[in-house]
């Protein structure tokens, strides 16, 4: 299906560079079309700074057309027929028509150049991405009903889903990602194929799977994408710890559904993210992953107590280890791994505050242990309240309001975010007359404990306490 597009019907403007580059290729005697996601996004009312084009020109011919026009260009993807460039703030990729052939046992597609636009569109992942805008004529080419499916909110493949996912199993992850990002629902045949073929995701590199998972987690409704992965069995090969949250409830239903609880926590955490100028700008991958994984230690720690009660003792510590292991296997960077694992480890720390209250020293420890993750921990802890008991929810919210007020009050008096002993290492060594070594570390920890327990001291008071401590140490007798 092809027809001239009335751009006035679009809910997003067409960037001027699109028509400019289209005119350049037309003048050089080559075909050029805006293709894929950028075309889809025009119908969704948004323009991406990244623009994808396809052409009958080979890479050499493409370079000849754009070399002088582009602000900059690069040839990193040349082997795949892609020339990248930058123009007026837009990242642009221009790729020669493809007709890809796949080795079922390979992690990567084998690339063969095609000769026409229709075949190029047919090899794409979903119909909503298999649309093109010929340039400069603005002819919309939509042979597989992408506009129809986009308006209907349905995710379909140009050919059979089985063939599509066999060619590139990563497309199953993309299906879950688009559910999260675009709010579409997979067609029944897509879900069926994902279910039957989930195991094939195992041949895809961890890095490629991770990149799709991050895009899913950053979507508007990541819980829906995760749910599709779990329901089709895809999660068994990507994040099996999440699938394992679907615990069989006891006959009296004395504990909540951990899996559905985790999806609710993820939704609520997304809602608590701040704007760009706030402390946790969304979408925040660390917060969202921590929300999803915070209870993955429960299956391993579940215990039925006498009388039918269910406990999950130490699931926070177990979950932190499991989260770190899973994210390492998915090749996440170390900073993300450490942050998510730490949040999982700390997510239960608040409970008990409402019943017993905390001393100032306990509040200091809470802030110190959270460190730069404090604002995320605030949001994770609040998101973890999913009870339907309104009084309980209000009581927990009030208690956390009180804790945050305590933190703010202490922060006005002390630098809670970077609590240090009142004397540094150099001062400790000078006062005790010792060289660098284990004694200095022990003295430092003693002063830090005093600082946590009693707040800041003036230098004289800190020195007095350190001398008293030193007098009780066996080493002091060796250095009278």
| The pLDDT of residue 8 | 55
Asked if residue 250 has pLDDT above 50, the reply is no
| The pLDDT of residue 396 | 81
Q: What pTM, to 2 d.p., does this model score?
A: 0.82
| The pLDDT of residue 130 | 96
CA distances from 446 to 443, 454, 463, 473 (A): 5, 12, 12, 12
Q: How confident is the model at residue 253 (pLDDT cuts 50, 70, 90)?
A: very low
Residues 6+ apart with CB under 8 A from 475: 434, 439
Token digits for 349? 């720390």
Q: In the CATH scheme, what is the code of domain 239-416? A: 1.10.3210
Per-residue pLDDT tens for 34-78? 999 999 998 888 877 789 999 999 999 999 999 999 999 999 888
| The pLDDT of residue 427 | 82
Mean of the pLDDT values across residues 200-213?
A: 96
Mean of the pLDDT values across residues 82-95?
A: 95
Instruction: Please tell me the distance from the alpha carbon of residue 233 to that of residue 174, in angstroms, as a whole number.
Output: 15
**Which 8-state DSSP code applies to residue 210?**
H
Say if CB 196 and CB 188 are below 8 A apart.
Answer: no
Q: How far is CA 314 from the centre of its chain?
A: 25
> Taken in order 314, 318, 319, 324, is the CA torsion positive or negative?
positive
Helices (H), 159-277: 161-167, 170-182, 188-197, 206-217, 222-232, 235-238, 240-243, 258-271
| The pLDDT of residue 461 | 82
CA 105, 118, 133 angle in degrees (round to 5)?
Answer: 120
Tell me the residue ranges of DSSP E strands in 264-369: 303-304, 310-311
Say if CB 422 and CB 462 are below 8 A apart.
Answer: yes
Percent of the chain with pLDDT over 70: 88
CATH value of 2-152 in 3.20.20.140, 3.40.630.10, 3.40.47.10, 3.30.460.10: 3.30.460.10
Per-residue pLDDT tens for 394-413? 878 888 888 888 888 777 66
Lowest mean pLDDT among 364-373, 412-421, 448-457: 412-421
> Which among 7-16, 303-312, 420-429 has the top mean pLDDT?
303-312
Instruction: Please tell me the distance from the alpha carbon of residue 92 to that of residue 108, in angstroms, as a whole number.
Output: 23
The CA-to-CA distance between both ends of the chain, in Å, stands at 94
- Supply the mean pLDDT for the chain: 87
Percent of the chain with pLDDT over 90: 59
> Which among 215-219, 276-280, 432-436 has the top mean pLDDT?
215-219
Strands 90-96 and 50-55, how do they pair?
parallel
Per-residue pLDDT tens for 343-386? 999 999 888 665 666 777 788 888 888 889 999 999 999 999 98
| The pLDDT of residue 312 | 87
Instruction: Please tell me the distance from the alpha carbon of residue 20 to that of residue 136, in angstroms, as a whole number.
Output: 8
């Amino acid at each position: 299906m092809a027809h001239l597009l009335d751009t006035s019907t679009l809910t997003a403007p067409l960037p001027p560079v699109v028509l400019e580059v289209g005119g350049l290729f037309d003048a050089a005697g080559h075909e050029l079309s805006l293709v894929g996601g950028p075309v889809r996004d025009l119908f969704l009312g948004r323009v991406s700074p990244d623009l994808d084009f396809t052409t009958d020109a080979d890479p050499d011919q493409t370079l000849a057309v754009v070399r002088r026009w582009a602000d900059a260009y690069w040839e990193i993807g040349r082997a795949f027929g892609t020339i990248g460039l930058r123009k007026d703030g837009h990242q642009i990729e221009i790729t020669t028509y493809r007709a890809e052939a796949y080795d079922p046992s390979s992690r990567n597609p084998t690339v063969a150049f095609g000769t026409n636009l229709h075949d190029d569109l047919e090899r794409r992942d979903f119909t909503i991405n298999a649309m093109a805008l010929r340039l400069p004529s603005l002819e919309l080419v939509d042979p597989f009903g992408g506009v129809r499916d986009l308006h209907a909110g349905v995710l379909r493949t140009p050919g059979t889903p089985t063939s599509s996912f066999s060619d590139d199993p990563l497309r199953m992850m993309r299906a879950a990602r688009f559910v999260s990002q675009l709010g579409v629902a997979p067609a029944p045949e897509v879900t069926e194929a994902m279910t039957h073929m989930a195991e094939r995701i195992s041949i895809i590199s961890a890095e490629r799977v991770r990149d799709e998972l991050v895009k899913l987690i950053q979507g508007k409704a990541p819980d829906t994408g995760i749910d599709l992965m779990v329901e089709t069995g895809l999660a068994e090969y990507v994040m099996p710890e999440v699938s394992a949250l679907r615990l069989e409830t006891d006959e009296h239903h004395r504990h909540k559904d951990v899996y559905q609880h985790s999806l609710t926590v993820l939704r609520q955490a997304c809602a608590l993210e701040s704007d760009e100028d706030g402390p946790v700008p969304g979408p925040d991958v660390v917060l969202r992953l921590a929300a999803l994984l915070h209870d993955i230690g429960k299956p391993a720690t579940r215990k039925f107590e006498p009388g039918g009660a269910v406990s999950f003792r130490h699931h926070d510590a177990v979950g932190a280890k499991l989260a770190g292991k899973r994210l390492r296997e998915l090749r996440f960077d170390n900073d993300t791994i450490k942050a998510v694992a730490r949040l999982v480890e700390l997510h239960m720390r608040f409970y008990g505050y409402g019943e017993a209250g905390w001393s100032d020293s306990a509040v200091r420890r809470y802030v110190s242990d959270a460190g730069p993750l404090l604002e995320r921990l605030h949001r994770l802890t609040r998101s973890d309240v999913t009870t339907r008991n309104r009084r309980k929810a209000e009581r927990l919210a009030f208690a956390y309001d009180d804790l945050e007020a305590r933190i703010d009050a202490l922060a006005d008096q002390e630098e809670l975010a970077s609590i240090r002993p009142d004397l540094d290492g150099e001062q400790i060594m000078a006062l005790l007359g010792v060289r660098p070594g284990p004694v200095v570390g022990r003295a430092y920890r003693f002063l830090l404990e005093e600082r946590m327990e009693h707040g800041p001291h003036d230098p004289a008071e800190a020195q007095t306490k350190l001398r008293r401590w030193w007098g009780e140490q066996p080493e002091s007798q060796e250095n009278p």
